[in-house]
Chain A
Amino acid sequence: MATLSVCQIPSSGFSFDYCKRNALLEAEITKLGFNAPAARKTGTTICGLVFKDGVILGADTRATEGMVVADKNCSKIHYISPNIYCCGAGTAADTEMTTQIISSNLELHSLSTGRLPRVATANRMLKQMLFRYQGYIGAALVLGGVDCMGPHLYSIYPHGSTDKLPYVTMGSGSLAAMAVFEDRYKPDMEEEVAKQLVRDAIAAGIFNDLGSGSNIDLCVITKSKVDYLRPHDEANKKGVRAGSYRYKHGTTGVLTKTVVPLDLEVLEETVQTMDTS
């Protein structure tokens, strides 16, 4: 034929076929003055902290798409394994898919080893995947959990670097949340004090950052149990309307009423069975 090509099965995974076309289209569109569609991000405040018995993860619940709020109550604390949870900031689809893939792989791995998965394993898997894609997967994560060696907390950046720390914050509201942590964090806090601190840190992010808002979700992980508090606190409640603005029946007078019956006859009747299996 025109070219001799190696007979290949269609490749799976990421395909770079449309990259050149997209670059061309974007250049054309910007020339006309429009914007290319923006990915939905979770411009966010997420944070985590290690307390006496375990780890607390906190997140806000706003997802933005450019300058518009796309989701007022999205869930940013993702399940990885029964003892490990992960908060995600950055591109919403990337954090969602990455945490799901790692959760599946960790499940397979723990079935193979026969043990409860360790947080360090999840961390290693995430950082290797994110480094492989050189930061093009925009997922900034706070990974926390309790395993046989105790409570652990990691922060993972989109390019694949990780930090293991007693308290971390990520996202656009991370500076506001970190300010609260730096002021009031003490090692080995009690659960209630720690929950209040995380709540205050997320609230600081919500009130001082445009990309964060709505409610505060908390996830308390200890050796024996996991408390997924969604919502823990509704910081931004939508206001209740003070008065009723509906018009009463009879406000507009009816002047005339005309009824025109339409003569329709049934021409054909077909039945299509639905496959409800």
Chain B
Amino acid sequence: MNTRGLRSQLKDTVAVTGLCPQAGAYGVQDTLRKGFTSVKNELLPSHPLELSEKNFQLNQDKMNFATLRNIQGLHAPLKLQMEYRAARQIQRLPFLQSSNIALDTLRGSDEYIGFEDILNGKNVVGTHMR
């Protein structure tokens, strides 16, 4: 397993020197969730599926584009990626979360229900707004 650059794969944060390397949201070690500090804790993923799930959509896209290129030629993935880029740019105001409806339609994920649609904290009984 390639451990070089593994830390950058696991985390989306840039570590600031001088502070605890495993800082959570408030700058201190999140002992309850992440356990005690250790180098091994930081470099290795906490679950074998963590990395594969993080990059799943990217890898799927890469594979699909490569297949498309082999079948139809370079123009097909090129045009599609241009459309994805254009759809990704349709956003709301800077601090608002976009619904990504154009992107979903392009990807075909508007007709697909996965775990991300169920396990998103919104379907818990009794948490609806009045």
Contact = CB atoms under 8 A, between A and B. Distances in A.
A12 B112 contact: no
Given A2-B23, A3-B23, A24-B35, A8 B111 contact: no
Interface stretch (A104-112, A158-166, A177-185, A216-224): A104-112
A19 B47 CA distance: 7
A15 B117 CA distance: 13
Interface string A85-100: 0000000000001000
Given A20-B33, A108-B112, A109-B111, 4 more contacts: A6-B12, A9-B97, A14-B49, A19-B50
Contacts of B47: 16, 19
A4 B15 CA distance: 7
A136 interface: yes
A5 B26 CA distance: 12
A257 interface: no
B23 A16 contact: no
Chain B facing A: main interface SS: loop
B121 interface: yes
Interface string B109-129: 001111111111100000000
A12 B123 CA distance: 11
A17 interface: yes
Nearest to B111: A108
Contacts of A136: 49
Contact of A17 (B33, B97, B113): B33
B26 A2 contact: yes
- 9 closest A-B pairs by beta carbon, nearest first, are A2-B27, A12-B120, A13-B116, A19-B46, A12-B116, A5-B13, A20-B35, A16-B47, A3-B13
Contacts of A104: 113
